């Protein structure tokens, strides 16, 4: 196959089909999903108040110049939440008053944020998006939440997620559907979809997120945000995570600008630094070094829409114009790798239902878990004997420092196969087999970076025909967040994106 031939092949003949309730073209074995046309409204709260249309770095400068006060920023965020949340349904709980346990002198002092509902925040319950948990108010903060508070971030609420974070949309029996600010008929992605919705709508400039299979990058792609899943061990996490057979979970944040994400990692590193990883440092702009970038165009049977292919082509053109060397490469992970991750995923769902009190510190009522959790857990019985070998193979990937990048500095893939689907497409009432089939076709590009422990970044470099964001994923070797951030600065400057649905 010649360079970038896969991108251009979709311009040739096609066959119209109907599948799963949406129209698609089948072009050279690629399923090309057309836009859904019943668009909803957009939600954008960037009004002329203390927050304005500022990102975090701008707000910090304004605080330093005493143009605004932290109390004003908090009041503005709460007011914006009141305006937006009836349409978005992104908050599970509100924090009306300033937190006394948040630092008044930390580097982000006064910046309002939100905390995802799978981490404890003292005084509020943690439900993990599930009706199967009857949580009491937390008696302490989760380790990463403590770090956020020490940095000075001020929570104004907790945010929605799907049950246990197991799927890639933020729809649950407990909270209902969280809606995308770019189009309220569409999913925000998941599992950090509540946080993504509030950042994208301008309610807060930065939000807590975490990622066990794409849960930072997927909502970043759906909502037009910057989402960096860091290297394994880069940020503080709960001790329980390290006891997983394969540690796939990392903490992080969602922002609207590259410099906000870079500033967060610089400040977080000053409070906690992993000596096993190279320092990220204070990244403030692009590097002069030109990179070797491998772009994945042969998707090994995964569904990729025409809009997504066009976004890849555009991104390749930008990278080449900037002087980077871009080569077409094979997808580094096989179908066997995907099966191994699915088996591990099933093991985690089963463990959550059976041993939830040991995992999350409170009982899980398995009679009240959702279809997808139940179906995923039940898969374990049909594949139990294969789990040990799958775990062995996944651990071998986790030991590779190149994380599948080979001789390339960065790999480029889509974050998702197509634009955000309609609410209900992956909802809690969908039959398990249908849900799993749709999910695997849509979200097959992110999970293996969790296995390898490599940093992976979503940037909102594309737009669908209907105007919703399409994220591009950039993956580097373990410990190379600085490389990704420098490249992100360069791409943001060369191809600026709208930071909010109306901006």
- Cα–Cα distances (Å) from 343 to 346, 378, 380, 437, in that order, read 5, 11, 7, 15
What 26-33 contacts at long range (C-beta under 8 Å, 24+ apart), as own/partner pairs, is 27/306, 29/301, 30/6, 30/299, 30/303, 30/304, 30/309, 31/303, 31/304, 31/305, 31/417, 31/441, 32/303, 32/304, 32/305, 32/306, 32/309, 33/303, 33/305, 33/306, 33/417, 33/418, 33/419
Residue 330 dihedral angles phi and psi, to the nearest 5°: -75, 150
- Cα–Cα distances (Å) from 374 to 350, 352, 443, in that order, read 8, 10, 20
Residue carrying the six token digits 């139940």: 374
Q: What whole-number distance in Å separates Cα of residue 433 and Cα of residue 376?
A: 9
Other Cβ atoms within 10 Å of 292 Cβ, number: 14
At 219, is the secondary structure helix, strand, or coil? Answer: helix
Q: For residues 223 and 197, is the Cβ–Cβ distance under 8 A?
A: yes
At 356, is the secondary structure helix, strand, or coil? Answer: helix
For helices 70-88 and 193-200, angle between their N-to-C axes, nearest 10 degrees: 110
Q: What whole-number distance in Å separates Cα of residue 34 and Cα of residue 466?
A: 10
Sign of CA dihedral 469, 475, 481, 482: negative
R_g (Cα) of the chain, nearest Å: 21
Residue 488 dihedral angles phi and psi, to the nearest 5°: -65, -45
Per-residue b/e over 452-477, b at no fewer than 16 CB within 10 Å? bbbbbbbbbbbbbebebbbbbbbbbb
Instruction: Give catalytic residues, as residue numbers.
Output: 116, 191, 215
Q: From its phi and psi, is residue 241 left (phi > 0), alpha (psi between -120 and 50) or beta? A: alpha
Q: What whole-number distance in Å separates Cα of residue 326 and Cα of residue 348?
A: 37
Instruction: Identify the CA nearest to 413 among candidates 287, 299, 266.
Output: 299
Q: What whole-number distance in Å separates Cα of residue 373 and Cα of residue 165?
A: 10
Q: Give the length of the chain.
A: 503
Q: For residues 293 and 408, is the Cβ–Cβ distance under 8 A?
A: yes
DSSP 8-state secondary structure symbol assigned to residue 387: H
């Amino acid at each position: 196959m010649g360079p970038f031939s896969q991108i251009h092949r979709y311009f040739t003949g096609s066959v119209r089909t109907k599948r799963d309730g949406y129209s698609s073209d089948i072009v050279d074995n690629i399923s090309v999903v057309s836009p859904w046309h019943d668009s909803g409204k957009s939600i954008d709260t960037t009004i002329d108040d203390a927050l304005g249309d500022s990102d975090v770095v701008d707000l910090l400068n304004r605080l330093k110049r005493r143009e605004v006060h932290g109390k004003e920023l908090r009041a503005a965020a709460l007011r914006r939440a009141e305006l937006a949340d009836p349409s978005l349904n992104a908050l599970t709980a509100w924090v009306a008053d300033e937190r006394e346990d948040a630092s008044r002198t930390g580097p982000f002092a006064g910046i309002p944020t939100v905390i995802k509902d799978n981490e404890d925040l003292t005084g509020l319950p943690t439900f993990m998006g599930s009706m199967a948990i009857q949580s009491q108010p937390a008696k302490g903060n989760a380790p990463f939440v403590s770090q956020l508070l020490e940095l000075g971030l001020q929570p104004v609420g907790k945010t929605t997620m799907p049950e246990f974070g197991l799927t890639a949309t933020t729809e649950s029996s407990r909270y209902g559907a969280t809606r995308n600010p770019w189009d309220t008929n569409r999913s925000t992605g998941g599992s950090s979809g509540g946080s993504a919705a509030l950042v994208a709508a301008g309610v807060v400039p930065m939000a807590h997120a975490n990622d066990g299979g794409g849960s930072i990058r997927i909502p970043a792609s759906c909502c037009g945000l910057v989402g960096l899943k860091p290297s394994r061990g880069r940020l503080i996490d709960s001790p329980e995570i390290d006891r997983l057979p394969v540690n796939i979970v990392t903490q992080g944040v969602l922002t609207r600008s590259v410099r906000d994400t870079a500033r967060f990692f610089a400040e977080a590193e000053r409070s906690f630094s992993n000596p096993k990883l190279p320092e990220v440092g204070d990244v403030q702009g692009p590097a002069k070094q030109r990179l070797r970038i491998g772009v994945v165009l042969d998707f090994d049977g995964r569904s990729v829409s025409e809009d997504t292919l066009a976004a890849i082509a555009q991104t390749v053109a930008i990278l080449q114009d900037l002087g980077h060397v871009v080569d077409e490469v094979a997808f580094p992970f096989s179908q066997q790798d995907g099966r191994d991750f699915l088996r591990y995923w099933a093991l985690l769902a089963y463990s959550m239902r059976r041993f939830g009190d040991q995992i999350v510190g409170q009982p899980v009522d398995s009679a009240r878990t959702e279809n997808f959790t139940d179906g995923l857990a039940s898969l374990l019985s049909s594949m139990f004997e294969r789990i040990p070998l799958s775990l062995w193979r996944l651990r071998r990937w986790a030991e590779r420092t190149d994380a599948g990048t080979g001789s390339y500095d960065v790999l480029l893939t889509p974050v998702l196969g197509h634009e955000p689907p309609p609410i209900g497409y992956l909802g809690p009432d969908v039959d398990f087999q249908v849900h799993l089939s749709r999910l695997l076709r849509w979200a097959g590009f992110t999970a293996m970076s969790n296995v390898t422990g490599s940093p992976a970044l979503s940037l909102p470099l594309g737009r669908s025909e209907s105007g919703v964001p399409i994220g591009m994923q950039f993956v580097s070797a373990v410990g190379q967040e600085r490389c990704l951030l420098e490249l992100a600065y360069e791409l943001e400057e060369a191809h600026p994106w709208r930071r909010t649905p109306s901006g």
